[in-house]
Amino acid sequence: MLDTPLMLVELSVMEQRYQAVSLVVHDGESVVEVARRFGVSRQTVHAWLSRYEQGGLAALADRSHRPKGCAHQMTASVEAVVLEMRRVRPEWGPRRLLHELARDGVEPLPSLSGIYRLLKRHDQIDPKARRRRDRKFRRWEWGSAMELWQMDVVGGILLADGTELKALTGIDDHSRFVVCAGLMRRANARSVCGHFAEAMRLHGVPQEILTDNGKVFTGRFGRQQVEVLFDRICRENGIEHLLTAPRSPTTTGKIERWHRTLRERFLLGKVFASQADAQAQLDAWVRHYNFDRPHDSLDMNTPASRFFTTRADARPADNTALASVDRAGDDWVARRVSAVGVVCVAWQQISVGKHRAGRTVDIHVGPQLLHIWDGNELLKTVLRDNTKEVRKKRASVAQ
């Protein structure tokens, strides 16, 4: 008689677990011996026993390791609020949405990346809508308010009778505070300069003004160089009038960007009954822009909050205010090189060479260092003297 060949039978995972439990429960073997035989830990055998006691054989099957919840997962109610905000205001990005949620007191407040992922899941992010920024791009601005105004003329304001109005617009370079938005039927010298003078009566006289080469702003490029009314006002008030290079609209990039916001958020689809009606509505919208609307490039602060706290002619009332005006941060400013080759920034005088007299250089103002750039060329890196800056501020307070 031939011996029957042995057959190897592979047990399932659940059968092996049941076998281990049976050895402990029915055969009386110790947990340590069973754990050694099956090559698992004692804690694992105890877990199998507990699951078998609670749910029987079915409880020994594999379970999902997926966690029951996620501590940082956005709740369904907050997701609904974010998506509704985005539907009503599709121009709001994750930063603006997060800012508005915080202002409304929404709890728990989601993260910036969480809002972005939510919008992406619901196909609210267009990857082609935003151009990749040039690696050589550097954002810079004047060091305080009232150092530079950018001004320009824009059209496209329509009346019911078919008339197209134009507007003289002006924006403070440092704070993005709109200092002028005056309407006129014709952009002639008298109308433009009237709005310009009114802006200075309301907000003061800036140190410099940057415009394009339009005839209403300058007469330096005609056949006969003449002083137009705008140039005369600048000269009599001690304002340095800067001009852009020909065909270089990015030089006045801040006012051009504000024109885009003006068209998209205020003028789109609007026809006004009269010039007075258009001016009243524009003034109301500008007040909202200056005092209520958070600005992305200002870390979600309003232009007014920066304009009135960093004005070049402002003086702190007491020593406690020094902390609020101490700008030891990380900013780009621009300075014109003097005739002896010196630039002044953060109460320091830095020589960059007489051969650069009259040029405008960019200065990166860091907490410890000053980096002076001429275009893409790094001219000099200087240690920042913060003690001199604080001493100057205290002297101004004492006066």
Adjacent-strand bridge partners of 210? 150, 242
Is there a contact between 60 and 48 (Cβ–Cβ < 8 Å)? yes
Instruction: Go through 326-356 and write b for each residue having 16 or more CB atoms within 10 A of its CB, e for each that does not.
Output: eeeeebbbbbebbeebbbebbeeebbbeeeb
Residue 74 pLDDT grade (very low, low, confident, very high; cuts 50, 70, 90) = confident
Supply 291's token pair: 């005092």
Report strand pairing: 348-351 vs 369-374: unpaired
pLDDT at 194: 92
Query: Are both 13-60 and 148-306 of the same fold?
Result: no
**Rounded Cα gap, residues 220 and 380, in angstroms:** 34
Is the pLDDT reported for residue 282 higher than 70? yes
Weakest mean pLDDT among 114-123, 299-308, 328-337? 328-337
Name the one residue in this structure whose structure tokens are 């402990």. 24
> Looking at residues 86-90, what average pLDDT do you find?
87
Report how far apart, in Å, the C-alpha atoms of 329 and of each of 143, 323, 333, 356 are: 11, 12, 12, 27
Nearest CA-CA partner of 364 in 324, 327, 334: 334
User: What local confidence, expressed as pLDDT, does residue 2 receive?
Assistant: 47
Spatial separation of the C-alpha atoms in residues 181 and 73, rounded to whole Å: 45
Q: Is the pLDDT of residue 297 over 50?
A: yes
Is residue 389's pLDDT more than 70? Answer: no
Q: How far is CA 369 from the centre of its chain?
A: 24
Q: What is the pLDDT of residue 314?
A: 40
- Residue 106 reports pLDDT greater than 60: yes
Average pLDDT, the chain: 81
How much is the average pLDDT of 335-343?
Answer: 86
pLDDT surpassing 70 at residue 395: no
Position 195 pLDDT exceeds 80: yes
More confident residue, 65 or 249: 65
**CA-CA-CA-CA torsion for 365, 368, 374, 376, nearest 10 degrees?**
-100
- Residue 211: its pLDDT value, please? 92
State the pLDDT at residue 164.
Answer: 93
Distance CA 130, CA 120 (A): 14
Helix (H) or strand (E) holding 391, with range, is: helix 386-398
Q: How many CB atoms lie within 10 A of CB 288?
A: 13
Residues in the chain: 399
pLDDT band per the 50, 70, 90 thresholds, residue 185: very high
CATH classification (class only), 13-60: mainly alpha
Q: Are 230 and 189 in contact (CB under 8 A)?
A: yes
- Cα 89 from Cα 99, distance rounded (Å): 14
- Give the domain ranges of the chain: 13-60, 76-121, 148-306, 319-398
Do 211 and 248 contact (CB within 8 A), yes or no? no
Residue 398's pLDDT band (boundaries 50, 70, 90)?
Answer: very low
What would the two tokens of residue 11 be? Answer: 């047990």
In this predicted structure, the answer to whether residue 376 has a pLDDT above a threshold of 70 is no
Q: How many CB atoms lie within 10 A of CB 271?
A: 12
Question: SS3 for 242?
Answer: strand
User: Tell me: the pLDDT tens digits for 5-51?
Assistant: 544 445 678 888 888 888 888 888 898 998 998 889 999 999 989 98
Residues 116-151 as b/e (b if ≥16 CB within 10 A, e otherwise) read bebbeeeeeeeeeeeeeeeeeeeeebbbbbbbbbbb
Q: Is the peptide bond before 94 cis (omega within 30 degrees of 0)?
A: no
pLDDT in tens, 136-172: 555 567 778 899 999 999 998 999 999 999 999 999 9
Over residues 299-315, mean pLDDT = 74
CATH architecture of 148-306: 2-Layer Sandwich (3.30)
Q: How confident is the model at residue 308 (pLDDT cuts 50, 70, 90)?
A: confident
Whether residue 322 is predicted with pLDDT greater than 70 in this model: the reply is: no
DSSP 265: I
